[in-house]
Chain A
Amino acid sequence: MARTYVFPAPSLRWVPVWRRNLLVWRKLVAASILGNLADPLIMLFGLGYGLGALLPSIEGMPYIVFFAAGSLCTATMFTASFESMFSAFSRMHGQKTWDAILYAPLTVDDVVAGELVWSACKAWLTGSTILAVIVVFGFGKSPLAALALPVAFLIGLAFSSIGLVMTVLARGWDFFSFYMTLVLTPMMMISGVFFPAAQLPEPLPSVAKALPLYHGVQIVRPLVAGEWPPDVALHLAVLIVYALAGYWIAIVLARKRFST
């Protein structure tokens, strides 16, 4: 039984799982990109220009520039969460795709790894498209902004692995609403996306510092503004810890779920 808890050692067999999801995505590419980008871009331009016109500059930048970095991180978070929960759960639970894969020479570790990397890639695509919009509209002018690309992938990994923990725990679709409403939405509000996190009374800013979204925003915002982020090692470390811990927990729970 000790084997249930060992840290996952997936083989490269996860690649066909990733390619399977890519093949499905290619069939629905227009709807998928529109679905992942429309919301954040409407928010970015609506709030950025509408609300931004009423506000003084924040942390030395126009509001829309301040908000653009938060928007990139939030959209990446939501794409990762939707893919790793609703889409992965549908494959695991409804379609029994995971069961079919496990007859082949793949293990649960491989399947979860394939889902994780896939979901992070999809999230990265959302994040990098928003970055492209940011650059095209002149909100980010520095070449440093390009470094937001790998950070978006890491944010994708962190939220996908947490999402997969929810997925392997879930017995039905309702379960995800709790996580969305009680975790993701409040996290978005306290993590410095719309306004600096310190605006809120304690303990909310401290809570935010324990959560991954805050640290993503703390790296991406200076990069977009053309500055090297302070405490970058700490922020990266928090995201990496969430990604690895989530991955491990998701795999342990998946091994249990699929060994009966």
Chain B
Amino acid sequence: MNPLVVRGLRKSYGDLEVVSGVDLEVASGECFGLLGPNGAGKTTILRLCLGLVEADSGSIRLLGREVPAHAREARSEVGVVPQLDNLDPDFTVAENLLVYGRYFGLERHEIDGRIPALLEFAGLAGRASAKIQTLSGGMKRRLILARALVNEPRLLFMDEPTTGLDPQARHLIWERLRRLRQEGRTLVLTTHFMDEAERLCTRVAIMDRGRIIAQGAPRALVAEHIEPQVVEAYGAGLEAWAEQALSLAPRVERAGETVFCYAERAEPVLGALEGRSDLSFLHRPANLEDVFLKLTGRDLRD
């Protein structure tokens, strides 16, 4: 049986339905990404799956257990990386792991046995007695990841695991998450970084307004929903060019001062742009972000 099976999940807060009938299934060893703009319901789904919030209707099975009825048992085999840092500021790095391990009913000698490997994994070897306040953002994030592994979970939930990190720190987290997959753990993450989802996830679900509007492997979603070539053009001559572009590419979108041309073949668009000094352009293959923007629109979500 798959480690996470969600059927017909619904949750409202007052008049606002934040999860409106979600079905999803995550297979063992997968890295599954929940993508969506702010307010799409991603974090609520994670909280529902952990049994922290009760659904209005629908069913959740996490590691073979009914949630929320048996959420406590399920959580004993799950790790969580939250969106916000909630490391214990009163403790050192090692004490954070010790205290957290005790919440899982682990004995001190068991946790002490795991700490060196966890610190190595987090790139914090030699930092066992460092105070939390002295850690950089990336170090804190890695420590939270190590903390989520203290109970040797079969499945990890991660809510925006790399938000706010610099590129080096993000790459290091990605590398560690790949290692976790190689160890056979199942990963479920939310993100709004499409490059992150494309690199890490075997499968993604794109959410908007509480629903899943597309689901599949990242490359398959790109192939299914979007033309493979994209040309972005911007500059002084944009007004006239926007008209002309309509005849050169099957799909043209305008967002502010940029025109996006989507096509099977980019040559006609590129030919027309050649040698124009009043326009700059960028030619690139289509990616998950294009799918995301096509499906969820370009309007700001706050």
Query: Known: A105-B75, A105-B104. Contact between A259 and B84, CB under 8 A?
Result: no
The answer, among A23, A97, A259, for a CB contact under 8 Å with B52, is A259
Sorting the interface of chain A by its residue count into under 10, 10 to 19, 20 to 34 or 35 or more gives: 20 to 34
A171 contacts the other chain (CB 8 A): no
How far is A259 from B90 in the complex, measured between Cα atoms in Å? Answer: 26
Q: Are B76 and A105 in contact (CB under 8 A)?
A: yes
Interface positions of B from 94 to 152, Cβ below 8 Å from A = 95, 99-100, 102-105, 148, 151
Q: Are A96 and B52 in contact (CB under 8 A)?
A: no
Query: Known: A13-B105, A259-B54, A260-B53. Contact between A104 and B100, CB under 8 A?
Result: yes
> Which residues of B are found within 8 Å of A103, using beta-carbon distances?
50, 75, 78-80, 82, 148
> Which residues of B are found within 8 Å of A41, using beta-carbon distances?
none
Q: Which residue of A lies closest to B148 (CB)?
A: A103
How far is A102 from B157 in the complex, measured between Cα atoms in Å? Answer: 14
What is the 8 Å Cβ interface bit string for chain B, positions 239-276, against chain A (1 contact, 0 not)?
00000000000000000000000000000000000000
Q: Are A95 and B76 in contact (CB under 8 A)?
A: no
For the residues of A in contact with B, the DSSP-based class is: helix
Q: Are A97 and B103 in contact (CB under 8 A)?
A: no
Q: Are B52 and A16 in contact (CB under 8 A)?
A: no
Total count of chain B residues near the partner, CB < 8 A: 29
Query: Known: A23-B95, A258-B52, A259-B53. Contact between A105 and B86, CB under 8 A?
Result: no
Q: Which residue of A lies closest to B90 (CB)?
A: A24
Interface positions of B from 23 to 76, Cβ below 8 Å from A = 50, 52-54, 72-73, 75-76
> Which one of A24, A27, A97, A100 has the greatest number of beta carbons of chain B within 10 Å?
A100
> Which residues of B are found within 8 Å of A106, using beta-carbon distances?
72, 103
Q: Which residue of A lies closest to B53 (CB)?
A: A259
Shortest CB-to-CB span from B42 to chain A, Å, is 16
> Which residues of A are found within 8 Å of B167, using beta-carbon distances?
none
Q: Are A105 and B103 in contact (CB under 8 A)?
A: yes
> Which one of A13, A19, A104 has the greatest number of beta carbons of chain B within 10 Å?
A104
What is the 8 Å Cβ interface bit string for chain A, positions 14-36, against chain B (1 contact, 0 not)?
00110110011001000000000
Shortest CB-to-CB span from B48 to chain A, Å, is 11
The answer, among B75, B84, B99, B103, for a CB contact under 8 Å with A23, is B99
> Which residues of A are found within 8 Å of B13, using beta-carbon distances?
260
Q: Are A101 and B91 in contact (CB under 8 A)?
A: no
Shortest CB-to-CB span from A260 to chain B, Å, is 7
How far is A27 from B89 in the complex, measured between Cα atoms in Å? Answer: 13
How far is A99 from B52 in the complex, measured between Cα atoms in Å? Answer: 10
Q: Are B75 and A96 in contact (CB under 8 A)?
A: no
A129 contacts the other chain (CB 8 A): no
> Which residues of A are found within 8 Å of B87, using beta-carbon distances?
100
> Which residues of B are found within 8 Å of A27, using beta-carbon distances?
90
> Which one of B50, B53, B54, B103 has the greatest number of beta carbons of chain A within 10 Å?
B103
Q: Are B75 and A104 in contact (CB under 8 A)?
A: yes
Q: Which residue of B lies closest to A104 (CB)?
A: B103
Q: Are A107 and B99 in contact (CB under 8 A)?
A: no
How far is A103 from B50 in the complex, measured between Cα atoms in Å? Answer: 7
Q: Are A100 and B53 in contact (CB under 8 A)?
A: no
> Which residues of B are found within 8 Å of A13, using beta-carbon distances?
103, 105
Shortest CB-to-CB span from B287 to chain A, Å, is 32
Query: Known: A23-B95, A24-B91, A258-B52. Contact between A101 and B103, CB under 8 A?
Result: yes
> Which residues of B are found within 8 Å of A19, using beta-carbon distances?
99, 102
> Which residues of A are found within 8 Å of B88, using beta-carbon distances?
20, 95, 97, 100
> Which one of A13, A103, A106, A259 has the greatest number of beta carbons of chain B within 10 Å?
A103
Q: Are B91 and A23 in contact (CB under 8 A)?
A: yes
Q: Are A102 and B86 in contact (CB under 8 A)?
A: no
> Which residues of A are found within 8 Å of B103, using beta-carbon distances?
13, 16-17, 101, 104-106
> Which residues of B are found within 8 Å of A24, using beta-carbon distances?
90-91
The answer, among A17, A99, A258, for a CB contact under 8 Å with B82, is A99
The answer, among B72, B78, B86, for a CB contact under 8 Å with A100, is B86
Q: Are B86 and A20 in contact (CB under 8 A)?
A: no
> Which residues of B are found within 8 Å of A95, using beta-carbon distances?
86, 88-89
7 examples of A-B residue contacts, CB within 8 angstroms:
A16-B103, A17-B103, A95-B88, A100-B88, A102-B52, A103-B50, A107-B72
Which 10 A-B residue pairings sit nearest by Cβ, starting from the closest? A104-B103, A96-B86, A103-B80, A16-B102, A105-B76, A100-B86, A24-B90, A105-B72, A105-B75, A20-B99
Residues of A within 8 A of B (CB): 3, 13, 16-17, 19-20, 23-24, 27, 95-97, 99-107, 258-260
Identify 11 new A-B residue pairs, CB closer than 8 A, beyond the known A19-B99, A99-B82, A100-B86. A23-B91, A23-B95, A95-B86, A96-B84, A100-B100, A103-B50, A103-B78, A104-B100, A105-B103, A258-B52, A260-B13
